[in-house]
Amino acid sequence: MKLTSDQVKKALESFDAQAIPDNHPVVTELTGLFGEHTFFVDMEGLSIVEPAPASDGQEIGRVISIADWVDEGRTRLLPHEPQSRNIAIELAA
């Protein structure tokens, strides 16, 4: 899921990460591997946000881990099956 700039701000309030800018050279490769998403990188690895159902009608997203760092220097990522990080983000105001 591609997030708006407001949604990216809300996501970054919910977990300590950096959004990879759409114009970054690595985004083309990531999009080829994982599809159209806003990508986040943090100490754990690479994550995306996926929409999730909410019982109260709010639009929320869940942070999903899609790759982990494979070295202590955090220079290489190893993709894996998507895993929820149990972080919810309110996407709509």
Q: Where are the domains of the chain?
A: 5-90
Question: What DSSP state is assigned to residue 41?
Answer: E
Going by pLDDT thresholds of 50, 70 and 90, the confidence category of residue 59 is confident
pTM, full prediction = 0.92
Q: Letter for the amino acid at 85?
A: R
- Contact between 83 and 65 under an 8 Å Cβ cutoff? The reply is yes
- For 91, phi then psi, to 5°, come to -90, -30
* Sign of the dihedral defined by the CA atoms of residues 55, 66, 70, 22, in that order: negative
**Do 79 and 66 touch, CB atoms closer than 8 A?**
yes
pLDDT score of 43: 95
Q: What is the pLDDT of residue 2?
A: 95
Neighbours of 18 (CB within 10 A): 10
What pLDDT, on the 0 to 100 scale, is given for residue 74? 93
